[in-house]
A and B are shown apart, each in its own frame.
Chain A
Amino acid sequence: MKKTGVFICHCGINIAGTVDVKKVARELSQQPGVALAEDYVYMCSDPGQNLIAQAIKDKGLDSVVVACCSPTLHETTFRNASQRAGLNAFRCEIANIREQCSWVHKDMSKATPKAAQIIKSTVKRVQKNEELEPISVPVTRRAMVIGGGIAGIQASLDLANSGYEVILVEKSPSLGGHMIQLSETFPTLDCSQCILTPKMVEASKHPKIKLMTYSEVQDVTGYVGNFKVKILKKPTYVDPAKCNLCDECSKVCPIVVPNEFDLGLTGRRAIYLPFPQAIPASYCLDDKNCPSLFPVACGKCYHVCKPKAINYDLKPEIIEEEVGAIIVATGYDLYDKEKMAEYGLGRYPDVLDGLQFERMCSASGPTQGKILRPSDQQEPQEVVFIQCSGSRDPELHCAYCSKICCMYTAKQAMLYKHHVHDGQAYIFYIDIRSGGKNYEEFVQRAVEEDGVLYLRGKVSKVFQEGDKLKVWGADTLSGKKIEIDADMVVLAMAMRPAQGAQELAKKLKLALDKDGFLAEAHPKLRPVESVTAGMFLAGAAQAPKDIPEAVAQASGAACKAITILSQDRLYHSPTVAKAVKNLCTGCGMCVAVCPYDAIALKDGKVEVNEVLCEGCGTCQATCLRAAIQVKNLTQHQLHEMILASLGG
């Protein structure tokens, strides 16, 4: 016979005011396997906890039910108390008779039997609880950060400065991400490159950071604290240690392709320096565009390279690393050009996207900071900025708000005015969203100081007429149709997850939200954690963000990663699924439903990775044969609880 102790808390009058605790205690003491049932005014008080501990020792209780408030409040308290008295913590369960009973009923004659039933059901459960110990796994105390933009750099620096080794993986040849492309940043108008390059340098020089540019994550296995990753290191064919940035190679290279850094506003050679401040500071031979590499047919760059930094024989390498935590900061890309045909992007040379305009404003950009029409290199006198190009349009484009466009459009209009004092900037907008420190003031400055004309409404069409761009729109405030003969149109394109992020998410087994951004574990309370334990999110990979937000989240993610890396061992709740192998037929339905990839088939039978399992029990309900059960909430226990709840 089981020896269960039932401890009923009065919670002052919170419970005892509506539930006849003495009566419930009497009733429970009659239950099979219940060795004693006692009530006390405050079970969570020290004397209350001592009462439980004493009873465990004196009566040799093998399980305990504390009938009190919600388990979210004192489950840990009572489990610890039980443990101190020598009872396994998992043999203590809470019956919630306050929030779910005494507080919601007034009639004692009805609340009392309900409380008794809740406790009886809990008694049935606890009597079948296994003794469990937290699952413990060792931790590899290093981290991997994927993405070398501002978020990735920040996360890496925070981790490294806390003493943990970091592998920073960036798929392009240089650190910097999109931030390094920007001219000035809102709301302070400080130069983006000026504030970012020191951080890039710091990251590249940090003894704890292993920088892997031009590299991509190929495969991730393992689990929190113990990931094994395979990283593909693509060859740049140029040894950064030897490259002295003389530019001779580029000069002789016969191949010209659009320059990604300038978003096609300029060209580059097949061997090129990504941008002047690139880290690592080295040229890179782009083997996709060099037609003469396999086999080597041209060889011009090799011949002119004095330091002999070029080596055509380099091969892709797979680097294997072990890490305990992973931060994903893969950033964003702009919405596809082709999808914004209605505004003529890609069709008319003087219709630019926001990033192209940034490059144009940048002192290091294609026009050295002058704002010139790509078509005729003339200063535009009328510039139309169109916000929400692709955002907030559930029918045709993205349903979500890209969040940063209101601010950067204001900034860009302002920058335009600073360059072209007599020009006119128009901004079409749906709403102005300027929530953020000094953001609203910034927008007001654009209107008041720089005379930017804000037009509330959508643009229906942009088309070329002569050397002008006709912009047809509506001002919904005045209700008037608006036609502007613009010299340049700048589209605040929607942000979408970076190219390749989806495939990466698959490799990492991360969930995506409906828009393809990485899904956080909880939208409010776990915003930097991914659904997979040990993997964290930073920056625009999770949702559109501006720089301060991306940096804050990156530091948050680093800190979350440190909560793992700072441990010698990780402890995990042991109420996880377990396989009942002799019932398993290997159909794999549980494998398919597991949100954590914690279940696998081995030799035709199910196997649970206890470290990955979160104990949700979806597998248990899916299995047709009861071959997988969550410990301490098994089908058997639920069956008994149902019976007890119905009074039988």
Chain B
Amino acid sequence: MTEEFEPKIIAFLCKWCSSAGSDLAGVSRMEYPPNVVPIQVMCSGSISPLYIFSAFNRGADGVLVSGCHPGDCHYIKGNLYARRRLALVKKLLEHLGLEPQRFRMSWVSAAEGQKYTQVIKDLVRDLKPLGPQTKLRRNV
């Protein structure tokens, strides 16, 4: 029996909602799988498609971008730009044949520690059966 595949996931969390929501999950001592390395950014609107491509290129098995719910953005509307930009990224990656589960976006508010926990659990659960992401991964 080989060891179960543990996906490597990068999560871009906006500082004001999702990172705070993730903090709340911690404060509430919720538990979720340790596969995700969080990177805190100021706003989901600051996530360039390049970061997502790059994460996959450098071996991420999954990428999560999480921001404030529409209307709650600390910067008013950054998440709405993100929503449009990342919808395109998702469609593009899927057109290429990347499994749709590998790139995910979520809205997690500062109060949603439980939701953050669930998002991570779902993501890890969805990625495990897919195995390592080799399509976009660099192999020099």
**Direct touch of chains A and B (CB < 8 A):** yes
Point out residues on A near B: beta carbons under 8 Å: 70-72, 96, 98-101, 103-107, 110-111, 114, 117-118, 121, 511, 519, 522-523, 531, 593, 595, 614-618, 620-622, 630, 633, 635, 638-639, 641-643, 645-648
Known: A100-B22, A522-B74. A620 touches B48 (CB 8 A): yes
Q: How far is the CA of A647 from the CA of B60 in the complex (A)?
A: 10
Taking a contact as CB atoms under 8 Å apart, the answer to whether B55 and A642 are in contact is yes
Q: A72-B20, A105-B31, A633-B41 are in contact. Are A620 and B46 (CB under 8 A)?
A: yes
13 other A-B residue contacts (CB within 8 Å) besides A70-B23, A643-B58: A70-B26, A96-B23, A99-B26, A100-B22, A107-B34, A616-B46, A617-B43, A618-B75, A620-B48, A621-B45, A635-B48, A642-B54, A645-B37
Contact pattern, B 17-46, Cβ under 8 Å of A = 1, otherwise 0: 001101111110111101001111111011
Q: How far is the CA of A531 from the CA of B49 in the complex (A)?
A: 27
Find A642's partner among B19, B24, B58 (CB 8 Å cutoff).
B58
Question: Once the chains bind, are A621 and B117 in contact (CB under 8 Å)?
Answer: no
Per the bound structure, the CA–CA distance linking A64 and B118 in Å amounts to 33
Residues of A within 8 A of B37 (CB): 114, 117-118, 121, 645-646
Looking across the interface, which residue of chain B has its beta carbon closest to that of A624?
B48
- Inter-chain contacts of A111 with B (CB < 8 A): 34
A645→B10 contact, CB < 8 A = yes
In the bound assembly, the distance between CA atoms of A519 and B73 in angstroms comes to: 12
Q: Do the beta carbons of A103 and B54 come within 8 Å of each other?
A: no
**Residues in A whose Cβ lies below 8 Å from that of B48:** 620-621, 635, 638
Smallest beta-carbon distance B134→chain A, Å: 14
Please tell me if B50 contacts chain A, counting CB pairs below 8 Å: yes
Q: How many residues of B contact A (CB 8 A)?
A: 44
> What are 7 sample pairs from A and B whose C-beta atoms fall under 8 A apart?
A99-B25, A101-B26, A105-B34, A114-B37, A615-B42, A621-B45, A635-B48
Which of A114, A621, A638, A646 is B59 in contact with, Cβ under 8 Å?
A: A646
* A633 proximity list for chain B (CB < 8 A): 41-42, 46
How far does the alpha carbon of A98 sit from the alpha carbon of B28 in the complex, in Å? 12
Is residue B81 contacting chain A, with contact meaning CB distance below 8 A?
Answer: yes
CA–CA, A606 to B117, complex, Å? Answer: 40
Residue B119 is within 8 A (CB to CB) of chain A in the complex: no
Q: Is the CB of B58 within 8 A of A618?
A: no
Let me know if B1 is at the binding interface, CB within 8 A.
Answer: no
Write out the residue numbers on chain A whose beta carbons fall within 8 Å of the beta carbon of B24: 99
- Closest Cβ of chain B: how far from A79's Cβ, in Å? 16
Of A99, A110, A117, which contacts B22 at CB under 8 A? A99
Query: From residue A560, how far is it (CB to closest CB) to chain B in Å?
Result: 17
Closest residue on chain B to residue A532 by CB atoms: B76
Question: Complex formed: what's the CA distance from A615 to B72 in Å?
Answer: 17
Given known A96-B23, A620-B48, contact A614–B85 (CB-CB < 8 A): no
User: Which residues of A lie under 8 Å from residue B10 when comparing CB positions?
Assistant: 642, 645-646
- Most chain B CB atoms below 10 A, which of A100, A105, A111, A630: A100
- In the complex, the answer to whether A638 meets B41 with C-beta atoms within 8 Å is yes
A532 to chain B: closest CB distance in Å?
10
Partner of A519, one of B30, B42, B43, B76: B76
Q: What residues of chain A lie closer than 8 Å to B59, measured between beta carbons? A: 646-648
**Cα(A104)–Cα(B22), bound, Å:** 9
In Å, the complex CA distance between A648 and B56 comes to: 13
Q: Let me know if B27 and A621 touch, CB within 8 A.
A: no
Q: Identify which of A98, A99, A104, A630 contacts B31 (C-beta below 8 A).
A: A104
CA A639 to CA B51, docked complex, whole Å = 7
Do B45 and A646 touch across chains, with their CB atoms under 8 A apart?
Answer: no
Do the beta carbons of B26 and A100 come within 8 Å of each other?
yes
Taking CB atoms, residues of chain B closer than 8 Å to A593 are: 45, 81
CB distance from B109 to the nearest CB of A (A): 11
B46 — nearest CB in chain A belongs to which residue? A617
